[in-house]
Structure 1
Amino acid sequence: MFIRISGARFRVLKQGAGGAWVIAYDEYQMPRYVSRDELERAERIAAPEEYVRNRERPMSAAQQQRYDLLRSALEDDRCITDEAHRTAVFAAIAREHNTTVRRLRRLYHAYLAYGSLTKGKPRESTRRSDYEAAIRKYYFSAKRGSLRTAYELFILANYTNQGILADEIPSWSSFRTYYFRHFRDNPQKEIAREGLTAYQRNSRPLYGSAMQYRESIGCYQVDETQGDIYLVSKWDRSKVIGRPNVYLAIDTASGLIAGLYVGLDAGETAMMACIANAAMDKRAYCASYGIDLRPEDWPSRGLPSEIISDRGGEFVGNRIDELCICYGIDRQALPPFRAEEKPLVERAMDLIQESYKSMLRGRGVIGDDVGERWATDYRKQAILTLDEYTAIVIHTIIALNKGRVLTDIGHLPVEAPNTPARLWQWLTDQGKSTLLDVDADELYRRALPRASSKLTRKGIVCNGLRYLPERGAELTIGAKIEYAYDPQDTSHIYVIAEDKRLIPCALAPSSARYDGYDMADVAIMRREESEREKAARQMELEARVAMRSEIERIIRQAEEQSTGSVKDISDIPQNRTRERRSLT
């Protein structure tokens, strides 16, 4: 006999005067006892078709073998009603036949519930609209309640009357089983609970291969991150200057890290510096940090013909627009949370920081517990300057370019090398390159940071220094102009003309003493000059105060000696002559 209790199906195993022992048909449960009243309220239903087929089908050899294994339990009605006895019988069978009690329990349930020892419980695709509505309303919610909370709210809304539970309610077990059977992998769960942004960023399925996106070098993926390390000033190592910004440009076809910027700047200036670095000869760049580079270890040189980036402000601003227009560069700005469109640069960021983190523990590198209570203050551990950190990043990039083995280049011929540097050179030799050959000096100037000022008769003021445009430059006195400047070289700035030409301006004679220094040196020199001037002003003030003190003393003395005397103004020339004679 089969019955339905609270929507779940049960097979009646053994009846008595006070009630009956039943076993669940739709989910895994051992036999349980129901009272006579509950049994009478239960709905009588026909035996499931699957159960009927199982009972009518002859027992196979595999079924007979399993039946023989469980014979002592199946032929003992006490195993239905006495859980302790049932467990003891299973334990004895498990020891004798070298199996597990868990397996025996499942076989026992399978035979009692639906009459088969070789097939699991039937999984019917029966849908329950009340369960589905409750799950979508209470669990798929931005309030992020638990599944148990959703079940309780479901019971409260549908099976209570003035706070009193109904006699028959769906069980928590059936509600939970229904969720895991029909909704466990439903993307709507994360979208509803965490938001579409989190789903697109973390759980959206991705397809394809990054290395097959381009087959010719010249398409660069660019991105930015903040280094997981605190740095100190190179002028005073006792002062922490914060975390550096790292920009990378990586070639899509070869996986070579082609461009780098490490510094304290962010935005368009840093982005342009990274592109300029990608286009330059790396030997001079590495030499400035004391690194002797072999050309074949970092062979990239030239401007990319295509740039892939996200929609960050530095990647879609006026500066990058100007660069693309001047050199005919294609640009692809990806929509938000499409990291799979530039996975190479995303992974390169991680590889670089993973390479040095273990060696810099306790030296300013940020740990996973940053910001937590009682966590280490990593700022106090900083020891590296910006130049030293940049040198570490360069060494890491050289190692990744020449030594990292690529495993996803199946779209290329067998003879293609499998390291980024060698693959870059191989593709170049095959003529698969769309790099643009540009004037390195002009690109360098266009990548410089920019500012604006007013042109006066005394010139243009940039960081406290005055510059004069070259003769013949068509600039209007009093006009506001935009100019580019090099923080490492104070000798010139470059005014951006309306046609995007760069007009050089040299230091004015009043600032010529700063020629040959970088802006950081000039700032220190000007600060020292300011302190010397302040000391001189103090000395000047002290001298003038002393002067006025003496003048006041002389005035008081004169007033004391002339008190009460009558002034004779009748013959001033004669008095003047007499005074002159007395002085000689």
Structure 2
Amino acid sequence: MVMLPNQKIISCDKNAIEWLIVEVAPEVDLVALTDLSLKNPRRPFTKSLSELQASVDKGIMQVVDHSFPAALELRDADIEEKWLAMRNKALEAIHPIVNDQSIRLEYLFGDSAGIFSKLMKESGRSRKFIATSLNRFFAFGGFHNSLLPQYFMCGKNQTRLDDYFVIENNVVCLKSKPGPKTKFGTPHRMVTEQDRLQIAAFCKKIRSGYKVSLRKLYLDYCRQYCLVSVKPKGALDTDIAENLGVLLPPQFLISPRSFMREVKKIVSNLTFLRKEKGSINYDRDHAGKPGVAREGLRGPTSRYEIDSTVADIYIRSNYSGQEMIAIGRPIVFLVIDTCTTMIVGVHVAFDGPNWHSAGQALYSAMTDKVEFCASHGVTIKAEDWPCHHPCRELTFDRGGENTDAHIEALLRPRIGITAGNFNAYHRGDCKGCVEKMFDLLNQVIVHIENGKVVKNPRKEDQHASRKATVTYDQFMKILIKTIIHLNNTRTRVDSHNFEMSRDGVGYTPRDVWNWGIENAVMTPTVSREKVRYAVLPEAEATVQDKGVYFRGLYYCSDEIVKDLWLDKAKNEGRYKVRIRYTDTSTNHIWVTDSTLGKIIQLNLTTRSEAYKNQIWADVMSKLERKKGVLAEQVELRLAERVKLELEISEIDDEAKKNVRYLRQSQAKNIQPGMHGYKEVEAAKQKFYESMDIQTDLKQPNTTAVDTGSVRDSSGQDLTDPTIIQCED
């Protein structure tokens, strides 16, 4: 191994050897070394190069790099003038050795007597000054700053007592205590090595989750390490008494300042900040973030981020009559393209946050913006907001509306989305593009004076809801115009890559978006119908012979009847299908025909028309109440059935009692003559019914029969229909 100056040779065994290589002279097989283990540097000595190389090859010694103090690498402009003066004074005394290589080699490997005499004569300095300067020069690297005064070493080599000791009269010895004497009060003792170990152990137990106070920590430290247990006065050894904790006198304690100084050596300010804020909040709000959000993304539409926030403004109702009434603060959903920070979709709702509103925002992101803006009274050109593409990845937070089922339902129709990403809990910085966009929108929208939310309102002012003047339609116009302004004018330097800079692409999100759509990605074309279907929530329904059964209601359509869905369920057994629904209406559900790949709309059947034109929340509540009513009817039917069974039993017993004395045939064949008996019984039944008819038709003032159309002929039998005369 080649040995170089300013490397050091250390021993690989128990012998503590640390030699700095000053100079190597292969021609004379010598190496000049200086001993780094000494407190004060001494003159370099020489060793045989071949012997050292043999020791290194055998593993007895090892050649390693050596680091010098950082203060020796300072520029002259950064060094104090008095330090420079002392360095230059020493350089002037030994400059021949510093500047002349031959004289230096002669001093290290030859006779240095003549050299010393020459240096002393030329500089006028003492032999000790020159020898000390040379020893320091070689021990600290052999360059100009090696001769700087060693002030930077102050405090680096301090030693501490292992523990304090007490002299006579129970007094702590303060002989080794640094610093000025205490003028007022009792002096505290010095910090010992035992104290340092105790403070290090104490710092490991500092609790997280609250603002750390060093003064409070000192109290906790004293309570844990500086108490002595004392029995109550007068208590005997045989008494059961709780010991008292008494703090030691100040002379047995380290001072608060000494404690704080030691704590700061062990625990950094950033560690205290992490303990105060918590690991999650620290990583989110205080940790450095060298990366960019678009890392690893190909271009626009590679990833969208979606999130919601409550706008800092109250909205006025359109239906408040003559009074100005607020309807609350709207929830704004934004969809942001991560690569370009382009706002690609927006939705404003007053309920939620829920998946319905999130789906509306995603639908807005993947459909034409000209129609979307026109629906809110804003006229734009297609190039003003050219975003109508599905993305490949979608990033959500872990809100209650973003469930695994909803995300899987979004991926299943294959509209281009291939992955759904969930952020870690309470880590909004993982989708920093959309979080930052809320701040930018608020900065623009807060210029609306009336109805805006003030974080620290004056007590004499009205509540913001009392001054709401902007309606929902007006708010949507403001929001759309603000989004277009931000998309087309905001500067995003970090969104550029090499190709964009080469092609001279602008720095606005729209410029980066247009270049990326044309050059970086391939965007599929998806119909509005398929996008709308994809953002609907998915559930499981059962195909029965009566229709598709979903949440207690029945749905059907001509297409599934024609395709024999119901016939198959009736004859081969019920089966499950995946359907889409909207929680705003029970009228329809949608299903995909796996054979043709088309979307079929199923309508609510007459069987379930009692729940038509309603929202699912109300229907589910009614169905729950219906279960209670049906349960009561089951109980009532059971009681009535038991009552019926008792009455039938009584009649049956009476019938058996009536035939008890009648003669009963023992024959096995069918009873003969039943047909005749049956005809006689039928004739009797008709006779009695005709008598009832005659009685009803003879009643005067009857309202059931028009007396002007039916005339009664006395002495005639009304049972004969031929004698009734009807007038037209």
TM-score, normalisation: structure 2: 0.48
Distance 1:502 1:308 in 2: 27
Distance 1:284 1:367 in 2: 35
Q: CA distance change for structure 1 residues 181 and 410 in 2, over 3 Å: closer, same or farther? A: farther
1:408 maps to 2:494: yes
1:436 maps to 2:554: no
What is residue 30 of structure 1 aligned with on the other side? none
What is residue 355 of structure 2 aligned with on the other side? 268
Bigger radius of gyration: 2
Distance 1:245 1:153 in 2: 47
Alpha-carbon distance, 1:508 to partner: 8.0
Distance 2:522 2:259 in 1: 60
Q: CA distance change for structure 1 residues 154 and 444 in 2, over 3 Å: closer, same or farther? A: same
Alpha-carbon distance, 1:163 to partner: 3.2
Q: What is the letter of the counterpart of residue 369 of structure 1?
A: N
1:391 maps to 2:477: yes
Q: CA distance change for structure 1 residues 152 and 507 in 2, over 3 Å: closer, same or farther? A: closer
Alpha-carbon distance, 1:423 to partner: 1.5
Alpha-carbon distance, 1:154 to partner: 1.6
What is residue 254 of structure 2 aligned with on the other side? 170
Could you say what secondary structure the match of 1:408 adopts? helix
Alpha-carbon distance, 1:401 to partner: 0.6
Could you say what secondary structure the match of 2:497 adopts? coil
Q: Of residues 284, 290, 296 in structure 2, which corresponds to 1:207?
A: 290
Could you say what secondary structure the match of 1:286 adopts? helix
Could you say what secondary structure the match of 2:388 adopts? coil
Instruction: Tell me: higher relative CO, structure 1 or 2? Use CA pairs within 8 A at least 6 residues apart.
Output: 1
Distance 2:353 2:463 in 1: 24
* Residue pair 1:216, 1:434 contacting (<8 A) in 2 also: no
What is residue 293 of structure 1 aligned with on the other side? 380
Could you say what secondary structure the match of 1:217 adopts? coil
Could you say what secondary structure the match of 2:251 adopts? coil
Q: CA distance change for structure 1 residues 406 and 169 in 2, over 3 Å: closer, same or farther? A: same
Q: What is the letter of the counterpart of residue 348 of structure 2?
A: V
1:130 maps to 2:198: yes
Q: What's the CA shift string for 1:330-372, capped at 9, x where partnerless?
A: 2222323444442211211211122111x22332x222137x9
Q: Of residues 432, 437, 452 in structure 2, which corresponds to 1:343?
A: 432
What is residue 310 of structure 1 aligned with on the other side? 397
Q: What's the CA shift string for 1:46-81, capped at 9, x where partnerless?
A: xx999xxxxxxxxx9626999xxxxxxxxxxxxxxx
* Residue pair 2:335, 2:344 contacting (<8 A) in 1 also: yes
Alpha-carbon distance, 1:291 to partner: 0.6
* Residue pair 2:325, 2:468 contacting (<8 A) in 1 also: no
Distance 1:369 1:452 in 2: 49
What is residue 148 of structure 1 aligned with on the other side? 215
1:494 maps to 2:561: no
Q: What is the letter of the counterpart of residue 202 of structure 2?
A: A
Could you say what secondary structure the match of 2:394 adopts? strand
What is residue 34 of structure 1 aligned with on the other side? none
* Residue pair 1:453, 1:460 contacting (<8 A) in 2 also: yes
Alpha-carbon distance, 1:211 to partner: 4.0
* Residue pair 2:284, 2:429 contacting (<8 A) in 1 also: no
Could you say what secondary structure the match of 2:437 adopts? helix
Q: What is the letter of the counterpart of residue 406 of structure 1?
A: R
Alpha-carbon distance, 1:387 to partner: 2.8
Q: What's the CA shift string for 1:152-202, capped at 9, x where partnerless?
A: 222333334323424242122222233334423343x34444433322332
Alpha-carbon distance, 1:134 to partner: 3.1
Q: What is the letter of the counterpart of residue 275 of structure 1?
A: L
What is residue 329 of structure 2 aligned with on the other side? 243
Distance 2:157 2:614 in 1: 73
Q: CA distance change for structure 1 residues 577 and 163 in 2, over 3 Å: closer, same or farther? A: closer
Distance 2:374 2:533 in 1: 20
Could you say what secondary structure the match of 2:222 adopts? helix
Q: CA distance change for structure 1 residues 444 and 405 in 2, over 3 Å: closer, same or farther? A: same
Q: What is the letter of the counterpart of residue 355 of structure 1?
A: V
* Residue pair 2:333, 2:346 contacting (<8 A) in 1 also: yes
Alpha-carbon distance, 1:455 to partner: 10
* RMSD (Å) for aligned C-alpha atoms: 4.7
Q: What is the letter of the counterpart of residue 471 of structure 2?
A: T
* Residue pair 2:293, 2:338 contacting (<8 A) in 1 also: yes
Distance 1:295 1:519 in 2: 37
Alpha-carbon distance, 1:479 to partner: 10
Q: CA distance change for structure 1 residues 245 and 459 in 2, over 3 Å: closer, same or farther? A: farther
Q: CA distance change for structure 1 residues 505 and 236 in 2, over 3 Å: closer, same or farther? A: farther
Could you say what secondary structure the match of 2:589 adopts? strand
Alpha-carbon distance, 1:122 to partner: 3.5
Distance 1:229 1:269 in 2: 22
Query: Structure 1: which 5+ runs fail to align?
Result: 1-47, 51-59, 67-115, 524-571
Q: CA distance change for structure 1 residues 449 and 287 in 2, over 3 Å: closer, same or farther? A: farther
Could you say what secondary structure the match of 1:225 adopts? strand
Q: What is the letter of the counterpart of residue 122 of structure 1?
A: C
Query: Structure 2: which 5+ runs fail to align?
Result: 1-38, 42-79, 87-147, 159-192, 229-245, 619-694, 702-706, 708-728
Q: CA distance change for structure 1 residues 203 and 292 in 2, over 3 Å: closer, same or farther? A: same
What is residue 185 of structure 1 aligned with on the other side? 269
What is residue 222 of structure 1 aligned with on the other side? 306
Q: What's the CA shift string for 1:448-474, capped at 9, x where partnerless?
A: 467999999999999xx9986345443
Alpha-carbon distance, 1:292 to partner: 0.9
Could you say what secondary structure the match of 1:336 adopts? coil
Q: CA distance change for structure 1 residues 231 and 422 in 2, over 3 Å: closer, same or farther? A: same
Tell me the matched-pair count.
411
What is residue 324 of structure 1 aligned with on the other side? 411
What is residue 447 of structure 1 aligned with on the other side? 535
The correspondence of residues 102-113 of structure 1 with structure 2, limited to 5 A, is: none
Distance 1:122 1:151 in 2: 27
Q: What is the letter of the counterpart of residue 267 of structure 2?
A: F
Alpha-carbon distance, 1:218 to partner: 1.2
* Residue pair 1:268, 1:320 contacting (<8 A) in 2 also: no
* Residue pair 1:135, 1:150 contacting (<8 A) in 2 also: no
* Residue pair 2:555, 2:589 contacting (<8 A) in 1 also: no
Alpha-carbon distance, 1:317 to partner: 3.1
Q: CA distance change for structure 1 residues 493 and 577 in 2, over 3 Å: closer, same or farther? A: closer
Distance 1:213 1:274 in 2: 25
Distance 2:317 2:576 in 1: 34
Distance 2:547 2:466 in 1: 44
Q: What is the letter of the counterpart of residue 402 of structure 2?
A: F
Could you say what secondary structure the match of 1:124 adopts? coil
Distance 2:287 2:211 in 1: 20
Q: Of residues 463, 485, 495 in structure 2, which corresponds to 1:377?
A: 463
Q: CA distance change for structure 1 residues 348 and 577 in 2, over 3 Å: closer, same or farther? A: closer
Could you say what secondary structure the match of 1:494 adopts? strand
The correspondence of residues 544-555 of structure 1 with structure 2, limited to 5 A, is: none
Could you say what secondary structure the match of 2:346 adopts? strand
Q: CA distance change for structure 1 residues 375 and 210 in 2, over 3 Å: closer, same or farther? A: farther
Q: What is the letter of the counterpart of residue 279 of structure 2?
A: L
Q: CA distance change for structure 1 residues 330 and 405 in 2, over 3 Å: closer, same or farther? A: same
Could you say what secondary structure the match of 2:487 adopts? helix
Distance 1:388 1:449 in 2: 30
* Residue pair 2:496, 2:507 contacting (<8 A) in 1 also: no
Distance 1:192 1:140 in 2: 7
What is residue 634 of structure 2 aligned with on the other side? none
Distance 1:378 1:454 in 2: 50
What is residue 196 of structure 1 aligned with on the other side? 279
Distance 1:175 1:375 in 2: 50
1:334 maps to 2:423: yes
Distance 1:209 1:456 in 2: 53
Q: CA distance change for structure 1 residues 442 and 157 in 2, over 3 Å: closer, same or farther? A: closer
Alpha-carbon distance, 1:485 to partner: 4.3
